[in-house]
Structure 1
Amino acid sequence: MTNLRLLTIISVLCFVATGINSILISLYLQSLGASFSEIAIIQSSVVVTMLVASYAWGRFSDRLGRRKPILIGGLAILSIAYFLLSQAPTSYWAWAARLFEGMGSAAYATISLAMMGDLLEKEKQRGRSIGIWRGLGSLAFAVGSITGGWFADQITIAPTLLLCVGLYAAAACCALFLREGSRLPAAPPVAGRPQPAGATAAATPATRSMLPIAFMGGVFFWICAHSASASMWPNYMATFGYGKTASGFLWGMAAIIEMVVMHRAGILSDRWGRPPLLITGALGISLTNFGYLTMAQYFPALLGVQVMRGIGFGSYTTAAMTFAAEHGDQRTRGSKSGLYNTTTSAGGLLGTFLAGNLVQLFGFGTLYGVCSALAFTSAICFWLLRRRTARTISATSSTAV
């Protein structure tokens, strides 16, 4: 079986697990006695762990020249973490388990994206390929959301989390069959350190350049809006009388739409470039949060809002992951992937911290109004990225002439 297929199977298994736990974690912490502010602190501390670990894992994989051992280790950590979480007698126990989970999540997210970038380095339709890979993940997420909510209603949340233990363990077993081939080229030497005789004098632009500031700013604000919105979404839905099964259905429905959109967004981003799809994704999430603010009490209207969420999430995710994965080469892609995931973690940190505290102090309405504004700010950053990209292309064309 090819590495691409194995990574796809691993992604599907992980996203089923993510779909199961995403609508249950905040409710589970609340059932263990945590207040909204305490939930925000717990969730934020997990993101801090991921923020630090993401770049460290990516950098380590570049230095090591291998990715497979780190991927397997991250998946094993996730399996153990969810077993500990399912046995939690208090919110403090759950907090410790979630911190351990953050280490595993950072390893999996960073290394899997770097491996996809390595596999698709010479492919022209990278956006399409990543759209399919990530889109199947969204379909798996939908399955997990719908079944997870149903299982939680039938057997409570703690036993349902044990499903995640098995899924992550199965993903780790699949990762054992990945073939790395020859050792990756070593990462470029750090500035100021002596270079061995015969080393190249300078790195290529792809290896020496950072991810663009406008891109990282857009990612930060988009993730901030999404994390704040999603972390309190099950609790918000509960205020309108929607149960776990209904919430799981709504979340799963959006994920199915994401799958379709991601495939199409990948194709369009290969034709038009990544920034237009990033802008579409940011505006879509801004409108989604405005819809939560104004129409969540009307179930038929909420279905329409979830369609918009699927369009916004799918457009952004495919374009952002492709942009990050194609920036650099095999010597530095782990670090670039780590930097991308560190930026998402930083946005997630602010988002999860804001979410519980805004709800505690001002209510859910304020939270979703702020989320809409943050997503719109992201759209502005991506518009600036589009202008920068257009100027670069124009300058390159002029030089060629």
Structure 2
Amino acid sequence: MTGTDQSTEQCARLSGQCRSPVHRKCNSVSSILLLTFVIGLVYLAIGFSSPLITLYLQELGASYFQISLILTTFSAVTLLSNYGWGRISDRFGRRKPILLFGLSGLAVVYFLLSRAPTANWAWAIRLMEGVAIAAYVTPSLALMGDLLQHQGRRGRRMGVYRGVASFMFAGGAFLGGRVADASSIRTVLSICAGVYVLAAISGLFVRESAPPAPASPGRDEPAAAAPASNPGDETRPLPWIFLAGVLLWTAAHNAGASMWPNYMAYLGYAKTTLTSLWGLAALVEFPAMAFSGMASDVVGRAPLLIAGGATAAVVHIGYLSLAALLPALLAIQVLRGFAFGSFTTTGMTFAAEWGGQTRRGRNSGVFNAANGAGGILGASLGGSIVQIFGFGALYAVCAALAVASAICFVVLRKNGRTAEEGMSNE
């Protein structure tokens, strides 16, 4: 091979045109970093807004029942959209265009939401948000699965990816309440719109992972890294017991979280205090997710899912009995961060690596749809239970749902132990 030929091949490799497994692995690193930056921006905006959304709806005149209905319909739209975007991304073999549509849509949604004159207007805008957030969430998880397919220690990498998001969420939550107290919640939502614009611009530079090209006759190719799953498992759907556990865990989390700001306000905490408490839990999630990812690479995914369900039950019992005591509430929020980190990172990793690239969009969509179904159940329970029975009854129900999710993950470990351990990294 001449020097010119060598230079040409080197340029092709650097530009990402060489599609061998070894070079795909190298070229995926920059896209993983960019996706991590994008999810950080997305969760910065979510941290700014989510602790204040139900309070904003109250300011616009919504009752607890109407807040519950708004959250329920938002979750329903998100559920259907997650499934739809997953199928579309698999059918066309593309993730990035849908992801960019979602980020751009979120920028428009939050610009409009900051100017909503009534609760009904905010309701319609939040339905648009459900479509847009699904267009980001499902393709981004599938794309991360594509990029991590030929990487080792996928749990650790996913933990860092999602942990950065929680760290940025914490920063947003700490700042959001202060901005709202100093100005208004509308100002917070306007800032979120700008953050989503920056995320969409950053997403333009993400490169998708192309399917492996067939080897040329007579040409030796470097040995590929081990795939995420066995060839015979390329089209397998996610286990139903896993999806049931995801639904129950998310229902417990969403039911409690939907009324948590109102509960804190009922107990006398200021906006700055409640957003700081929310941010504290998110700050703990970063190391918790990194640790959970590394641990799941060693012991498997199911044990960390079980831990996430059991710890969440303890957290909700703490809200029920100790939330009026600020020192105890600080400890509960730290524990909540570990519960959320253990469940979220491990669930995302399990869903992203199960099956092959041609199925990953649908699996990501179904996983997020299960989260959405849990969101519907949780949102429908949250305000309704508080309106009729009070906050104490709500957190008792949340604890029971979290225990049920842990039981599902125990069954997952027992029934699919051999297959599940095969999904763990060597």
Return the TM-score normalized by structure 2. 0.87
Offset from partner CA, 1:190-235 (integer Å, 9 cap, x none): xxxxxxxxxxxxx944233211111011000000000001010000
Offset from partner CA, 1:156-186 (integer Å, 9 cap, x none): 111111111011110000011112264789x
Equivalent position of 1:284 in the other structure: 311
Q: 1:384 aligned to 2:411?
A: yes
1:138 Cα deviation from its structure 2 partner = 0.6
Return the TM-score normalized by structure 1. 0.92
Task: Give the distance between the partners of 1:6 and 1:246, measured in 2 at CA.
Answer: 33
Residue identity in the other structure for 2:256: S
Offset from partner CA, 1:301-358 (integer Å, 9 cap, x none): 0011111101111111111000000011111100100000011000100100110100
Equivalent position of 2:63 in the other structure: 35
Query: Alpha carbons of 1:184 and 1:152: their partners in 2 closer, same or farther (altered >3 Å)?
Result: farther
Offset from partner CA, 1:244-295 (integer Å, 9 cap, x none): 1001110111111110110011000000000000010011111101000000
In our comparison, the structure showing a higher alpha carbon Rg is 2
Aligned length: 378
Equivalent position of 2:327 in the other structure: 300
Equivalent position of 1:353 in the other structure: 380
CA contact (8 A) 2:277 2:330 kept: yes
Query: Alpha carbons of 1:120 and 1:144: their partners in 2 closer, same or farther (altered >3 Å)?
Result: same
Counterpart among 159, 169, 176 of residue 141 in structure 1: 169
Residue identity in the other structure for 2:248: F
Equivalent position of 1:168 in the other structure: 196
Q: 1:366 aligned to 2:393?
A: yes
Aligned 1:157-306 pairs, distance under 5 A: 157-180=185-208, 182=210, 204-306=231-333
Q: What is the SS of the residue equivalent to 2:416?
A: helix
Counterpart among 134, 138, 142 of residue 114 in structure 1: 142
Equivalent position of 2:360 in the other structure: 333
Q: 1:63 aligned to 2:108?
A: no
Offset from partner CA, 1:35-68 (integer Å, 9 cap, x none): 0000000011000001100010011011111111
Query: Alpha carbons of 1:380 and 1:32: their partners in 2 closer, same or farther (altered >3 Å)?
Result: same
Equivalent position of 2:22 in the other structure: none
Q: What is the SS of the residue equivalent to 1:24?
A: helix
Query: Alpha carbons of 1:123 and 1:183: their partners in 2 closer, same or farther (altered >3 Å)?
Result: closer
Q: Give unpaired runs (5+ residues) of structure 1.
A: 186-202, 396-401
Identical residues among aligned pairs (%): 49
Residue identity in the other structure for 1:299: L
Q: Give unpaired runs (5+ residues) of structure 2.
A: 1-28, 214-229
* Backbone CA RMSD of aligned residues: 1.6
Q: What is the SS of the residue equivalent to 2:200?
A: helix
Q: What is the SS of the residue equivalent to 2:367?
A: helix
Query: Alpha carbons of 1:394 and 1:75: their partners in 2 closer, same or farther (altered >3 Å)?
Result: closer
1:394 Cα deviation from its structure 2 partner = 9.7
Equivalent position of 2:82 in the other structure: 54
Equivalent position of 1:93 in the other structure: 121
CA contact (8 A) 1:184 1:330 kept: no
1:84 Cα deviation from its structure 2 partner = 0.7
CA contact (8 A) 1:66 1:183 kept: no
Structure 1 segments of 4+ aligned residues over 6 angstroms from their partners? none
Residue identity in the other structure for 1:314: G
Query: Alpha carbons of 1:139 and 1:383: their partners in 2 closer, same or farther (altered >3 Å)?
Result: same
